[in-house]
Amino acid sequence: MDMHEYMMGILSNYHEIQIYAEKVIEQVFQPVGLTRLQGLILLLVYSGNTNSIGDVAKCLGIKQGNCSVVCKKLESVGYLTRERNASDERVVKLALTDKGKQAIEDVKAESARKGCVLEDIEPSKLNRIAEGVLAVKEVLKLMYDTTIASEE
């Protein structure tokens, strides 16, 4: 197989993986009453690694303005709070409310119900899958970084 065929195979499989992953994610968030994007934002804020609209937008690869609109909606229904940084008003800090924390617990429970199918898969196979996904991510990142570097 030549490099072009490898690349086309990776991209084709990646596309299918993305479609199924989004469907599973929607099935986890929908019973809780969240869209995929709303759920991902709440999970990122819950993780503690991202606590501003800018950080969340960067992690999700979306525009800050779009992220702000979704966060405003999540605030209006009581899932999170938004607070401007006193020293830099461009920075909007996010925090989960009790209702937002409960939504995350509900998402975890729904995710556990979905994840139970993994119990029937051999741990060694799950490890190979995880290693393969990581390797594909590293190759795609390398390709992206090389493209960016050549454009500079």
How do the domains of the chain map onto residue ranges?
3-120
* Per-residue pLDDT tens digits for 68-99: 999 999 999 999 999 988 888 788 899 999 99
Q: Are 43 and 10 in contact (CB under 8 A)?
A: no
Average pLDDT, the chain: 89
CB within 8 Å of 1: residues ≥ 6 apart: 9
- How far apart CA 52 and CA 57 sit, in angstroms, is 9
Q: For residue 109, what are the CA distances in angstroms to 35, 97, 99, 127?
A: 17, 19, 15, 23
pTM above 0.85, yes or no: no
* CATH 1.10.10.10 for domain 3-120: yes
CB within 8 Å of 95: residues ≥ 6 apart: 45, 51, 80, 81, 83
